Amino acid sequence: MRKIALLIYFLLASGLCFGQAALQRAQKLIEQKNYAQSEIILAEYLKTDPNNLEAQELYGDALGYQEKWDESIVVYEKLALKRPQNAEYHYKYGGAMGMKALSVNKFKALGMLSDIKTAFITAAELDPKHIDVRWALVEFYMQLPGIVGGSERKAQQYANELLALSPVDGWLSKGYIAEYKKDFQEAEKAYKKAIEVGGSELTYNKLIDLYEAHGEGKKALETSQACLLAHNNNRLHYQIGKIAATYNINPELGINCLVKYIENYTVKDGVPKDWAYYRLAQIYRNLGDKDQAKQWIDKALASRADFKEARKEALVIDQMACC
């Protein structure tokens, strides 16, 4: 009998280990953005263990990342019904419905608003420290017209809650609200506070994007330089070069940064080198140096023949007067 009991224990333990390995593999695939393969593994796993909540949540995540909103909504709704005290399930249910609402016609989307709001508010009430759902509620209340439930006052309420939970998120959310209201000064103030209390690249980029959206090239360049000093990320060399080219300011700095970007480039930097060639061509065209501009635009087109922006720039450069 003892041998049989040990055998049963061994088989059960082996099954648990195998199951956990499958979930870990699925999670890893999601982190690697291989959502389709993760979905396959989880669908197979759930055939043998359909009540595993961790597997169900991962399955919903894999579906959501692939924008399979209808399927992910079903998964998250079942989880929220099974565990009504779990804030994360309600948050993901509301999020999936929100994304679905963005992909359907306005009349159908209007019919979903109440369920979306209920899911988010439930999550916020269940977890007073849930940052993501408070962000969702800020965006929800700002994006909706007042006639169907939009409210700047409620958005500010959740932004204030964020400020108490995470000052950087609080200031970023206040910057978001100010931008939505087209209040440049308030948005600038909020993003500067976010940099002051957080100092991440994200906080700098929010301010840089604000400046670029309002044609404040000099301020965008200065903020990008400050971000480079704080983070020393090669991608920022490209950003500085892009701003210098776009706004025709500080060409020497722009050229130096773009050359550094090209020299230190890796695929992790995100922006292909041909864009750096294109920006260098722009800067030299701004300087009136046709030969250098043509050299760099030819290099961009040699790298990618169907580079539309570079083709347009090449036509402009060809029309320049010779030096």
List the structure tokens of 32. 């690697």
Could you list the pLDDT tens digit for every one of the 323 residues in the chain?
A: 555 554 444 334 444 444 678 888 988 999 999 999 999 999 999 999 999 999 999 999 999 999 999 999 999 999 999 999 999 999 999 999 999 988 888 888 888 899 999 999 999 999 999 999 999 999 999 988 765 667 999 999 999 999 999 999 999 999 999 999 999 999 999 999 999 999 999 999 999 999 999 999 999 999 999 999 999 999 999 999 999 999 999 999 999 999 999 999 999 999 999 999 999 999 999 999 999 999 999 999 999 999 999 999 999 999 987 65
Looking at residue 147, what DSSP letter applies?
Answer: G
Contact call for residues 221 and 208 (beta carbons, < 8 A): no
**Nearest in space to 203 (alpha carbons), one of 183, 178, 231, 177:** 231
CA–CA distance, 317 with 251 (Å, rounded to integer): 17
List the structure tokens of 265. 């480039």
Position 18 scores a pLDDT of 47
Contact call for residues 168 and 200 (beta carbons, < 8 A): yes
Contact call for residues 114 and 103 (beta carbons, < 8 A): no
237 φψ region: left (φ > 0), alpha (ψ -120 to 50), beta (else): alpha
Position 22 scores a pLDDT of 81
Could you identify the residue written with the tokens 């692939």?
A: 66
Could you identify the residue written with the tokens 């699925």?
A: 26
* CA distances in angstroms from 228 to 204, 234, 249, listed in the order given: 10, 8, 18
**Nearest in space to 274 (alpha carbons), one of 251, 249, 308, 321:** 308
Position 26 scores a pLDDT of 87
